[in-house]
Amino acid sequence: MSFWSDKRVVVTGGAGFLGRAVVGQLKAKHCSYITVPRSREYDLRQSLAIKRLLKQTRPDIIIHLAGVVGGIGANRANPGKFFYDNLIMGVQLMEESRLYGVPKFVAIGTICAYPKFTPVPFKEDNFWNGYPEETNAPYGLAKKMLLVQSQAYRQQYGFNSIYLLPVNLYGPGDNFSLEASHVIPALIRKCVEAKQRRDPQIMVWGTGKATREFLYVDDAARGIILAAEKYNSPEPVNLGAGFEISIKDLVGLIVKLTGFKGEVVWDKTKPDGQPRRCLDTSRAQKEFGFKAKTRFEQGLKKTIAWYLKHQES
């Protein structure tokens, strides 16, 4: 019998980009009792809504993916909202879950919580050695408090909460809005639309020198589910693909894969964000056997194909 077949699972943010992948994989594992709370019915910033959710669903496992997220521009425009909404959702959900007696809580952090100048590759042991990159520090610190709460609750109450740190995600079903999207969907949309309009150039933020690591969304979902099944310790765990690419090289690759023939112009008045980002993923492999499977170019091709299909429909 599957580990999941008799489990009652609540996936906050289950209708979002990562959430849909997690829910889909849970269903494939014959999990029959999945609840995806929608914000219009359960505002997770309100403790009464959380109490009602727990009473109605009686979960064995909560996977907390819900968050207010966006790229550098969205973070700079909404630092207060990104801090408050993410902090209050997590803090109250974990507290009410403890009071209710939920057996397992899976908290999803963010790579933005790492210090700005973390040595590469990022090791979990360096998580507290500095302040996050300024443009997304309010969001990163709000999510970072979930680790503090998780460890404190395990120590005082024996509450089984784990904390995972996925790197930047990408894949089919991502958010391609110009206002709130992350770097890969934003670049794909820019290149595709510029090609369709026959624009001579596209504008890209920053210098292109910053580096990033990207994890395909289905790989991230598989890592989260493996951790929910097998990991029960207080230390945070990175989820990544274990490679690093500069934004300049990323842009070149997306330009090639989308067939855009124009010029790339770099707006160096805009910030690069964190200078480098690449994870040490050895703890995830050691603790619960997770390793990313999707090759980056293959994942990009799938993402571009998805966008082209849904842009036209």
Its domain, for residue 20, covers 8-171+215-239+276-294
Whether the per-residue pLDDT at 107 is higher than 70: the answer is yes
The pLDDT assigned to 227 comes to: 98
- Is 21 within the bounds of a domain? yes
> pTM of the entire structure?
0.94
Q: Which residues are identified as catalytic?
A: 139
The mean per-residue pLDDT over the stretch 200-206 comes to 94
The mean per-residue pLDDT over the stretch 218-245 comes to 97
Q: Would you say 183 and 241 are in contact if contact means Cβ atoms under 8 Å apart? A: no
The mean per-residue pLDDT over the stretch 94-122 comes to 96
Band of pLDDT at residue 160, cut at 50, 70 and 90: very high
The mean per-residue pLDDT over the stretch 255-260 comes to 97
Q: What is the mean pLDDT of the chain?
A: 95
Please, what's the b/e burial string for 13-27 (b: 16 or more CB within 10 A of its CB; e: otherwise)? Answer: bbebbbbbbbbebbe
Q: Give the percent of the chain with pLDDT over 70.
A: 99
- Is 263 within the bounds of a domain? no
pLDDT higher at 242 or 35: 35
Over the stretch 43-60, which tens digit does the pLDDT of each residue have? 999 999 999 999 999 999
The pLDDT assigned to 159 comes to: 98
- Helices within the chain (DSSP H only): 17-28, 47-57, 72-77, 79-100, 137-157, 183-197, 217-230, 247-258, 282-288, 296-312
Band of pLDDT at residue 177, cut at 50, 70 and 90: confident
The pair of three-digit structure tokens given for residue 308, joined into one six-digit string: 């082209």
- Is 166 within the bounds of a domain? yes
Whether the per-residue pLDDT at 179 is higher than 80: the answer is no
Domain with residue 234: its CATH number is 3.40.50.720
What is the SS3 assignment for 238? Answer: strand
Backbone φ and ψ of 265, nearest 5°: -110, 130
What's the distance, CA 64 to chain centroid?
Answer: 11
The pLDDT assigned to 75 comes to: 78
- Is 221 within the bounds of a domain? yes
CA distance 152 to 146: 10
Whether the per-residue pLDDT at 78 is higher than 60: the answer is yes
Over the stretch 20-42, which tens digit does the pLDDT of each residue have? 999 999 999 999 899 999 999 99
The pLDDT assigned to 27 comes to: 97
Q: Would you say 158 and 102 are in contact if contact means Cβ atoms under 8 Å apart? A: no
Whether the per-residue pLDDT at 73 is higher than 80: the answer is no
The pLDDT assigned to 262 comes to: 96
The mean per-residue pLDDT over the stretch 109-130 comes to 95
- Is 82 within the bounds of a domain? yes
The pLDDT assigned to 312 comes to: 66
- Is 191 within the bounds of a domain? no
DSSP string computed for 118-181? PPSSB-GGGTTSSPBPGGGHHHHHHHHHHHHHHHHHHHHH---EEEEEE-EEE-TT----TTT-
288-to-126, 139, 219, 285 alpha-carbon distances in Å: 21, 28, 14, 6
- Is 265 within the bounds of a domain? no
Band of pLDDT at residue 313, cut at 50, 70 and 90: low
C-beta pairs of 146-153 under 8 Å, 24+ apart in sequence: 146/64, 146/90, 146/91, 146/94, 146/107, 146/109, 147/107, 147/109, 147/113, 147/236, 149/90, 149/91, 149/94, 149/95, 150/94, 150/105, 150/107, 150/234, 151/234, 153/94, 153/98
- Is 40 within the bounds of a domain? yes
Band of pLDDT at residue 114, cut at 50, 70 and 90: very high
Whether the per-residue pLDDT at 279 is higher than 90: the answer is yes
The pLDDT assigned to 286 comes to: 98
Count of domains forming the chain: 1
The pLDDT assigned to 276 comes to: 87
The pLDDT assigned to 101 comes to: 98
- The DSSP bridge pattern shows strands 245-246 and 211-212 to be antiparallel
Q: Would you say 235 and 297 are in contact if contact means Cβ atoms under 8 Å apart? A: no
